[in-house]
Chain A
């Protein structure tokens, strides 16, 4: 018990020193919040939105079919603006040529120019393009139904297209009921990324400095053993990661209505993840002798792991090979477990594989960190 108290005392002291540093709050709270806002807005305004995709139709048609076709294109989620000439600014543009009606009435095939801006939302462009295909299919079905009759009289009366086959979409039962917001995606990713970066940088540098300044050696003059010093350093860095996670989750809950599903399980995931990072930070601090090297290595590792692990973008858009490579990243397993909790209302059995991998990583990192832990240069 006395040993545990001594260990916790040193760990608590390390944490107090870190929290006492004003810049600590910039790195652990202010900067991650800027990231959360930016990436949250990006998720929202990127490919998840716009809710309504804009389509500009330049209707040069001299007959009635152009307007008829535009009516077929109009559908929920697509806002159609009809103009008589090509505008300078547009996201997506469909040109109905002057002879559009004439060609249909003569049953002559034609290709319509559909232009999409390369810098506009890909998702909106895909939605508009499929709606255009659907409109074409509707018109063609009506033409087949109409038969061989005179197409100049088609609009006077013809068999109407009916949507016999309807599509109902939704999410799996017992998961989410509303579409997750951009912040539900960005907060877990940013939290995982910044735990990695800050625990590695702060934790690594402070272990290195304590060793170089002789603080670790002097600790051995107290009743602390080398093993207790190691455990105290590990616990201090783990507490730092957890403190950061708690602050970001609290901010997420208060300001962005973050839904992490089962909160105790989400915190368990972050706890095991923080432990792995704490062990890595002690290892980095034991192996490196220069602050710049620790910062560089930590930034490199944290960014690559975050990118591969799905902290910055939805993993679904990542090519399968890179997704497999991403499994080497601890962030991948943390994000996988958090996704299961957030989006699938997962329970303990659902996240056990991810927790297992993170737990194994924590054990291995700790064993390697113990092996290389030095109290003097």
Chain B
């Protein structure tokens, strides 16, 4: 046991003397988590969307078109839609360059046709390179179209009066004759106010989870959802790098020289496995610490998470012990190891949310440690004990260990 601990201590010291690869592999998941978190973080205070660039072309320059332009410019919409009024030639040029999400074109005679209750068409030109924002503009214009249609129909008679006023010289308008019309308009306005202030029917919108419970997703929640997946992916990379010693020591003859000492093969195997597990745990703890301090991630009951981390690191060490017992040389290990890790990570949910994957991919994901670790971490976050994840990781880890030890013994004695 003493010899095992001596080798372990020596290994750890050696790796700490040249820590650059480990530091880089710790930095990658943290930076990726930071980047994804910053991009997809819920932006509650400024609305859920980034500002949408909209070009507005007003060929009409009339009363109603100005009302429509004003709707784009109200305080609530300003946060979402950043409107630039332009002429059509310039607008089309900018749309061809992809400088805006959409361009809205109000046609000539828009006001006059509408006041005559004739159908009019607003054109929305969408940026083909964008998938989401142009549709937001289109739906907004659709809603404004409904509101305008309703307003024009509700005040059809008054609209005719306005139409006449717009076309006649000011001096020719008989204000006495307008008085009854204005009176009727006032009555309608008062009647409409009953429906509009407050709105007779409005929506009370809530976000729910599958069970129907309310949820509020914060940036820290997003980091907490991403970081475990990234952590297990790069834990696999780091432990693979550390366990590669098994091969390089055999290649450069160190192993043969070590076996001339009173060291038993099992002690050496134990030291390597323990080294992989201890370093894996250390790396995981560094990621947890940075995640907590920088990203404010709440991991749930820490003891449970530590247990899950220990099971994950154990599985990883056992897997790479077996892997390095089976591959022939360092090149083969490098060539097969990284694709295996990336496949685990892709199917296991480290690179994308498993819910968004095709069913077949999700089924493959169950065979990966990533999936069990990520699911376990999610359960711990919710305050639940990750029993299934622990059983699978520890159980399959033990099986891998049982296969790795005799294979490694054979390799050492070759």
Contact = CB atoms under 8 A, between A and B. Distances in A.
Given A42-B356, A115-B206, A317 B39 contact: yes
Contacts of B293: none
A46 B131 CA distance: 10
Interface in A216-253: none
B108 interface: no
Interface residues of A, number: 100
Interface in B131-157: 131-133, 135-136, 138-154
A146 to B, nearest CB: 9
Given A140-B196, A164-B119, A167-B141, A307 B36 contact: yes
Q: Chain A contact residues: over half helix, strand or loop, or mixed?
A: helix
B142 to A, nearest CB: 5
Contact of A320 (B50, B128, B339): B50
A132 interface: yes
B327 interface: no
A164 B339 contact: no
A34 B357 CA distance: 12
B126 interface: yes
B210 interface: yes
Given A130-B139, A291-B334, A313-B39, A166 B145 contact: yes
A162 B149 CA distance: 7
Given A107-B194, A118-B208, A164-B149, A171 B126 contact: yes
Interface string A169-180: 111111110011
Contact of B150 (A119, A140, A167, A318): A140
Contacts of A138: 146, 150
A137 B121 contact: no
Interface in B207-257: 207-210, 212, 215, 217, 241
Interface of A: 21, 23, 26-27, 31, 34-35, 38, 41-43, 45-48, 69, 86, 89, 104, 107-119, 122-123, 126-127, 129-130, 132-134, 136-145, 147-148, 159, 161-176, 179-180, 185, 290-293, 295-297, 299-300, 303-304, 307-308, 313-314, 316-320, 322, 339-340, 342-344, 350
15 contacts: A23-B336, A31-B342, A43-B131, A109-B199, A111-B204, A115-B205, A117-B209, A141-B154, A145-B153, A165-B148, A292-B21, A295-B21, A304-B35, A317-B50, A322-B39
Given A117-B207, A296-B28, 10 more contacts: A109-B202, A127-B135, A136-B203, A140-B200, A165-B119, A166-B122, A175-B96, A307-B36, A320-B50, A322-B39
